[in-house]
Structure 1
Amino acid sequence: MKFVVSSTALLNVLQTSSKVVSNKNTLPILDNFLFDLKEGVLKITASDLETTLIGSLKVDNMEEEGLIAVPVKLMLDSLKEFSEQPLTIEANESTWEIQVSWKTGKLTIPGTSGLSYPNLPELNPESRRELDADADMLLTGINKTIFATADDELRPVMNGVYINIESQSITFVATDAHKLVKYVSPIETEIAASFILPKKPANLLRSMLGKEDESIRMEFDDKNVTFRLKSHTLICRLIEGNYPNYNAVIPSNNPNHVRVDRVELLNGIRRVAVCSNQSTNLIKMDIESSTINLTAQDLDFSVSAQESLACEYEGEAISIGFKSTFLVEILANIDTQNVVLELADSTRAGVFKPIYDEAPATDTLMLLMPMMINA
């Protein structure tokens, strides 16, 4: 294998691909990138068995094709020190030695045979589905929901983003049993399917989608999903199991409606939360005709805080407690100036919805379970 490539272009692909590599690989070969050079295109594969990312890069000058496994850390640490310049990379397929040459010097690192690198999973042709999805829509769906995913070994289905595709819409849902986010976007498709995308590949996809300006091809079956981007292909194993019936926990009859400036409420909660109990992070909200009164206290340290905010309120006076860290997460992930909080009573979940000046095509709903208020 021998080729010439831009140092910056190669480093960009390697840095993106390296996010897949695990610190605790069960197979030593997975501590390597797989370099596969064919027809002037270098394919760089990184995997942790669950998730695989393949980056493609056109080389400037190819003299000899080849396949070799390249150590991740050594290659990255070496390339980080280069300014933009052409590099000549040559691999000896009898000794597996890799030589990187540039105008003023060269370095040699040990490689290994790429033949033992795990094969890519193949989709079942009988259950295989495909869909062309807008990159911005996918990015927004993941951004809106991923913060609400759980880290629960006993309920792995809640450790990812649930994606439900129907004829007129695509729904993204995430929940950790305390908070829930549901984001619905319109889409025209002839398929009806759903799957649970794990958190790690969802984060990887999120980091790459911002650079995409074309639609993304999604291909999936019951076990795996493939996302085909402009210069990368992401393949990951789906979380198996049935996602909870999230619609059943969203309260439908909420007679109490609070309309408030989102930024003012968010900043007020952050100020008051400094004095909340460190173990519970409880903030109490007393809501009446035109005022939200926020209070927090920690009796162990004799600290307390209180702040009153103006609001528009329809309903009976109500007192309800929420975990401040969850409140901050929810309000920080809503992008409108004003928000409406719908409440039934102090024991049922509060529903947060953004308020738009014009009717949006998308629908966002965030739900937060209350906490007990100690009398």
Structure 2
Amino acid sequence: MKFVVSSTELLSHLSAISKVISSKSTMPILDNFLFQLSETELTITASDLESTLITSLELDNIEGEGAVAVPAKLITDTLKEFPEQPLTFQIDGESYLVEIYSDNGKFSIMGQNAEDFPEQPQLDEEGASSIDVSHVVLQKGIEKTLFATADDELRPVMNGIYVELTPDFMSFVASDAHKLVRYRRLDAKAEFESSFILPKKPASLLKNLLPKEEFDVKLEFDDKNAFFTLSNYKLISRLVEGNYPTYNSVIPTNNPNKMIIDRLNFFNTVKRVSVFSNQASNLVKLTISDNQLVVSAQDIDFSISAVERINCEYEGEEIEIGFKSTFLQEILTNISTSDVKVEMSDPTRAGLLLPAENEEDEDMLMLLMPMMINV
């Protein structure tokens, strides 16, 4: 087998899919890329059994067909040292020796039998659902929710993004029991009702691939796997098994106390004041009344405290509520509007943080559980 490929083009594809490879793999073959050569293209696969990422390059100079597994770290490190130039790969199908010829030299790598590489999962055609989703919708849905997923070994369903498809909207939901994010798109709809839980790692891989995408993404899924087909890449992810909690029941509906405030001002104030909070709890206290917000924190152990005031628009009774500052900052970072609306009922119930004005076809809601204030 023989083919010629641009060094930088090959490196860019390998770098994108190499993020799948796990450093703790129990199968040595998974430390390799699977190179498959057909008449017109080179297909490269990387996998950690849970997620599989496949990319393909159209090539002109191809002789022969076949497959070989190539050590991922060695080939990537080698390509990083080349300036842009054509490289000729010559592969012996029996000994799995891979020889790379550059303008000035020759590099030999020992490959492995491609048959040892695990087969990729296949879609169960009978029980599968399929939909074309805008790459922008998918990218924003993942970006807005990924930060709120949990790391909970006892409840694996919380460690992913819950994707919900209905004839009216598409929802992305994530929660770690302290904060919850629901990002809903009214311009992405399905003709059916269905849902699945996408694990954190493949969601993160998609987040890196989607900014370069220009076309709709074909999304297919069955009971076990989801398949995302992009222009140059295909991601196959094993889904999290189990039922996602009924998240709508925890969203408080009657919130008479409403504040609208400049998001950046609010964020910077919380960041400054939180330096003075107790390091174990990270508690900041919000006191709101008469169109003024007072943000305060203290650490009694070190006799330090901080108070800062900001103007806001406020409707409702005076309220004192405590939040974990790190969570509050994360949420404020992930709301993109200049003003943010905070809705509360009382200090023991979750507060809602929303964009002051949702963009067209978007409906975003972030919920944060309060902390007890020790008076």
| 1:283 to partner: Cα distance | 0.2
Aligned-residue Cα RMSD (Å) equals 0.9
Q: Give per-residue Cα distances to partners, 1:123-147, cap 9 Å, x unaligned.
A: 2222111000000000000111110
Q: Residue 288 of structure 1 corresponds to which residue in structure 2?
A: 289
* Aligned residue in 2 for 1:309: 310
Separation of aligned partners in 2, 1:197 and 1:305: 41
Find the counterpart in structure 2 of residue 63 from structure 1: 63
Counterpart residue number, 2:280: 279
Quick one: which amino acid aligns to residue 162 of structure 1?
A: Y
In 1, the alpha carbon distance for the partners of 2:317 and 2:147 equals 32
Rounded Cα–Cα distance in structure 2 between residues aligned with 1:334 and 1:120: 37
Tell me: CA distance 1:359–1:216, structure 2 relative to 1, closer, same or farther (3 Å).
closer
Cα offset, 1:60, TM superposition:
3.4
Task: For 2:261 and 2:193, locate their aligned partners in 1 and report how far apart those are by CA, in whole Å.
Answer: 38
1:346 maps to: 347
The residue that corresponds to 1:152 in the other structure is 152
Matched, 1:188 2:181: no
Per-residue Cα deviation, 1:186-227 (whole angstroms, up to 9, x for no partner): 223212110000000000001001111110000100110000
Matches of residues 83-98 of structure 1 in structure 2 within 5 Å?
A: 83-98=83-98
- Alignment identity in percent? 54
- What TM-score do the two structures reach when normalised by structure 1? 0.98
- Counterpart position of 2:218: 217
**Structure 1 residues 138-287: aligned runs within 5 Å:** 138-186=138-186, 187-287=188-288
- The Cα offsets for residues 152-200 of structure 1, whole Å up to 9 and x where unpaired, read as 0000000000000001210000000000000110223212110000000
Q: How does 1:78-117 map to 2 (within 5 A)?
A: 78-117=78-117
Q: Which position in structure 2 is the counterpart of 1:131?
A: 131
Which residue pairs with 1:35 in the alignment? 35
Give a deviation string over 1:91-139, Cα, whole Å, max 9, x none. 1122211111111111111101101111111122221110000000000
Alpha-carbon contact 2:170-2:189 (below 8 Å) kept? no
Aligned to 2:362: 362
Q: Which amino acid aligns with 1:278?
A: Q
- Tell me how far apart the structure 2 counterparts of residues 12 and 257 of structure 1 sit (CA, whole Å): 48
Shift of 1:59: 2.0
2:260–2:341: 8 Å Cα contact kept in structure 1?
yes
For 2:233, the aligned partner's letter is: H
- Match of 2:320? 319
* Corresponding position of 1:331: 332
* Deviating 4+ runs (over 6 angstroms): none
Inter-partner Cα distance in structure 1 for 2:324 and 2:276: 13
Contact (CA 8 Å) 2:34, 2:117: kept in 1 or not? Answer: yes
1-side partners of 2:62 and 2:191: how far apart? 43
The aligned length equals: 374
Unaligned residue ranges in structure 1 (runs of 5+): none
What amino acid is aligned across from residue 131 of structure 2 in structure 1? L
Distance 1:75 1:303 in 2: 54
The TM-score, its normalising length taken from structure 2, stands at 0.98
Opposite residue 337 of structure 1, the aligned amino acid is S
Match of 2:3 in 1: 3
**What's the CA shift string for 1:50-86, capped at 9, x where partnerless?**
0000010112311222200000110011000011100
Q: Give the residue type in structure 2 aligned to 1:312.
A: E
Amino acid paired to 2:168 = Q
- SS in structure 1 of the partner of residue 15 of structure 2: helix
> Within 2, Cα distance between the matches of 1:222 and 1:255?
42
Q: Deviations for 1:250-276, whole angstroms, at most 9, x for unmatched residues?
A: 000000001100000000000101111
Distance 1:154 1:170 in 2: 28
Q: Which residue of 1 aligns with 2:22?
A: 22
**Which secondary structure state, in structure 2, belongs to the residue aligned with residue 300 of structure 1?**
helix
